[in-house]
Amino acid sequence: MGPFHAVIIGGGGTGAAVAHDLTLRGMKVTLIERGELTSGTTGRHHGLLHSGARYAVKDKESAVECIEENTILRRIAPGSFELNDGLFVAITDEEVAYSSEFIESCQECGIPVRRLTHTEVLAREPNVNPAIKLGVQVPDATMDAMRMPLRFFATAKHNGATIKPYTEVVDFVRRGNAVSAIRVRDHTSNKEYEIGGDIFINAGGAWSGRIGAMVGVDVPIRPSPGVMLAVYGRLSNMVINRLHASGDGDIIVPQRALSVIGTSSWVVEDPDNLGLPEDHIQMMIHFGSELIPAVRTAKFRAAWSAARPLIGPRGADTGRELSRTFKCFDHIDENVEGFVTITGGKATTLRGMAETTANVVCAKLGLAKPCQTREFVLLPHTAYYV
Amino acid sequence: MVERDIDFKVFRYKQGGAAPAYQTFRVRCDENTTVLVALQDIRRDQDGTLIMRHSCHHASCGTCGMRINGREELGCVVKVFDLNTSTVVVEPMRNMPVISDLVVDMGPFYDRFNSAGMPLMRESEFLDEADVAEGLEAYMRCENCIECNLCVSACPIMGTDPTYLGPAALAAAWRVVEEPRGLDAKPLLDWVDSQNGCWRCHVAYECNEACPSGVFPGDKIMSLRRELTKRKFRRLFGR
């Protein structure tokens, strides 16, 4: 008998990292994605490598995950992150008062922080609102949101994984209570065929609820979009955040020769139909210009929506109250064997999500192989194509 | 917000199927609708088999290169109403093998591009009067080239001579010559100093026109020529 065969559904960052992890653990891996790789939420998000500071006060679990993975990703994917750090700025007295709790929470989570005075902030970031009262420097960074995950695909592929973009799952084949194969359609040829396997992993992100429904299991996912606005020019060097409990339009991420302002949050049923509310674009300009006044006059480049895959009960209405952490569901608790879902989380924690998933998969299959992804330096993204 | 129905005449091709053909879809668009969003709407509402490349949706990743009304564009930043046509023709990029529909095989692009060996990070030139944050040596940012292949698609030489290194790879080579970042530029200059290198360009500057990311590959090709000429003169006069 050859190695176990894992079939991953979903070619975003999560699927990429799971493919990499399982390949290193010696499994045969096939990954399918209905469109281009990273064409869902991955690639379309803010491009922020989180330090975790954003979550430190209210969502410590996410914050700790972020700082751990931030450190690991910088080690295994050098060249995928701009070296620019992040800055939280306090404008109102309320935000100044909040800064003590913010700094303490960051320290409790192991996030290095440095408090900067008004003068120090403006010397570093001359475009920031001169009304700011203080700033806190944290190890955020800009990531290349498409190429960083592509490195996981590249490395998995060179280690033997089969990556199939433009291949959509159309049905699940069961033997007893176990998923034994998926039926897929190859959109490059319109041909349908089956892929058999020992374990099937739903890494569909905001689409994971829909994939779960095809198998008849409940994945409590809330696709929660946010609007982002890109303008020409780097209005800051560092990632600029508003120092408050998270809200709309409170972050500006410089990227290449652009600045990206985000974001908002609401909840939709259909992750393929997010829309682009005009009032949210205006909101990005309004709140973004409170951080950096030049946002108001900067030349428009693009506005778009991206759906976070948040885990939460039905009924949540803005998405803000949902945790940003991730979960791996073994659907055996709903009497379906051979099918697990990994969802929630964020780009910064993709490797950790994959480690958790691979641990669940290996435990199910009785495979005693340790995770190797913490130290394994990834191939460059260009290796995916050659 | 104003809404209008726009026809999209889209290039269709499936491997092993019928010959390539155009298929027209009518899509309700508003002022914010981009060509990429309209194509996604077609996939969601009218034909789930239509495929295209896309990722970041703001001209930062370079995956959604395509030809829109005969021009090389990133579909994510072209607003449909700005085109001012009732029918929008959407085709895959030229000078690349088509995999299916609007998807091209990027392999040949990377074969050439990788040979230039350009580092992906550069020192940021923005806000250079600012103090650098403690703990950082300098602000580093991603290079401008987003590897979209639009310059290669637009280049008239690429279509007639597949051995030409092409604008993207030559522009990447110039970045190394201009800012070596510890790399040796000599082998790269030798590489581009050939029949199918920077001398092959006919100075049509279609690549400059097509570039969505401020690289201006045509200018970089001319910079390579100047650098090579300078070096030849220096050799001639023994300096």
Residue ranges of chain A whose pLDDT lies below 50: 314-315
Q: Best residue in A304, A381, A386 to probe B by mutation, most B CBs within 10 Å?
A: A304
Judgement on whether residues A303 and A231 belong to the same structural domain of the protein: yes
* pLDDT at residue B88 tops 70: yes
DSSP per position, A115-157: EEEHHHHHHH-TTS-TT--EEEEE--EEB-TTHHHHHHHHHHH
A130/chain B closest Cα distance in angstroms = 14
Judgement on whether residues A154 and A15 belong to the same structural domain of the protein: yes
Sign of CA pseudo-dihedral A346, A350, A352, A354:
positive
Share of chain B above pLDDT 90, in %: 95
Q: Which of B104, B136, B164 is the last residue of a domain?
A: B104
The per-residue pLDDT for A317 is 55
ipTM value: 0.96
| A–B CB contacts, 8 A cutoff, strictly below | 188
The per-residue pLDDT for B160 is 92
Would you call B126 and A258 a contact, using CB atoms and an 8 Å cutoff?
A: no
CATH number at residue A357: 3.50.50.60
Judgement on whether residues B45 and B23 belong to the same structural domain of the protein: yes
Q: Is B98 on the interface with A (CB under 8 A)?
A: no
Judgement on whether residues A203 and A336 belong to the same structural domain of the protein: yes
CATH number at residue B196: 1.10.1060.10
Partner-chain residue, chosen from B58, B103, B111, that has the shortest CB–CB distance to A301: B58
The helix (run of H) or strand (run of E) holding residue A300 is: strand A300-311
The per-residue pLDDT for A189 is 98
Q: Is the pTM of this model over 0.95?
A: yes
Chain B, window 114-173: residues with a beta carbon less than 8 angstroms from a chain A beta carbon: 114, 119-121, 124, 126-127, 129-144, 146
Judgement on whether residues B24 and B85 belong to the same structural domain of the protein: yes
Q: Which residues of A touch B111 (CB under 8 A)?
A: 386
- In angstroms, rounded to a whole number, what is the distance separating the alpha carbons of residues A325 and A68? 13
Judgement on whether residues A100 and A130 belong to the same structural domain of the protein: yes
Geometric angle at alpha carbon A194, from A192 and A196, rounded to 5°: 165
Judgement on whether residues B51 and B116 belong to the same structural domain of the protein: no
Judgement on whether residues B66 and B30 belong to the same structural domain of the protein: yes
Q: What is the DSSP letter of B131?
A: P
Q: Best residue in B57, B80, B181 to probe A by mutation, most A CBs within 10 Å?
A: B57
Judgement on whether residues A192 and A283 belong to the same structural domain of the protein: no
Would you call B48 and A168 a contact, using CB atoms and an 8 Å cutoff?
A: yes
Residue B20 phi, psi (nearest 5): -55, 145
Q: Which residues of A touch B130 (CB under 8 A)?
A: 123-126, 237
SS3 B141: strand
Q: What is the mean pLDDT of chain B?
A: 96
Judgement on whether residues A231 and A181 belong to the same structural domain of the protein: no
Q: Which residues of A touch B133 (CB under 8 A)?
A: 84-85, 87, 124, 137, 237-238
Q: Which residues contact A314 (CB under 8 A, 6 or more apart)?
A: A220, A222
Judgement on whether residues B51 and B127 belong to the same structural domain of the protein: no
Judgement on whether residues B187 and B79 belong to the same structural domain of the protein: no
Would you call B130 and A278 a contact, using CB atoms and an 8 Å cutoff?
A: no
Tens of pLDDT along A279-319?
A: 999 999 999 999 999 999 999 999 999 999 988 764 455 56
The per-residue pLDDT for A246 is 79
Would you call A234 and B141 a contact, using CB atoms and an 8 Å cutoff?
A: yes
Task: Please state the domain count of chain A.
Answer: 2
Tens of pLDDT along B196-222?
A: 999 999 999 999 999 999 999 999 999
Q: Which of A267, A291, A311 is the last residue of a domain?
A: A311
Q: Which domain holds residue A370?
A: 5-41+147-220+323-385
A335/chain B closest Cα distance in angstroms = 32
Nearest residue of chain B to residue A227 (CA atoms): B57
Q: Is B58 on the interface with A (CB under 8 A)?
A: yes
Tens of pLDDT along A200-232?
A: 999 999 999 999 999 999 999 989 999 999 999
The per-residue pLDDT for A245 is 86
Task: Please state the domain count of chain B.
Answer: 2
Partner-chain residue, chosen from A36, A301, A380, that has the shortest CB–CB distance to B54: A36
In a domain, A52, yes or no: no
The per-residue pLDDT for A169 is 98
Chain B, window 188-207: residues with a beta carbon less than 8 angstroms from a chain A beta carbon: none
Partner-chain residue, chosen from B52, B77, B124, that has the shortest CB–CB distance to A237: B124
Burial status of residue B226 (CB atoms within 10 A of its CB: 0-12, 13-18, 19 or more): exposed
Judgement on whether residues A135 and A232 belong to the same structural domain of the protein: yes
Burial status of residue A78 (CB atoms within 10 A of its CB: 0-12, 13-18, 19 or more): middle
Judgement on whether residues B72 and B17 belong to the same structural domain of the protein: yes
The per-residue pLDDT for A320 is 59
Q: Which domain holds residue B69?
A: 3-104
DSSP per position, A167-179: EEEEEEEEETTEE
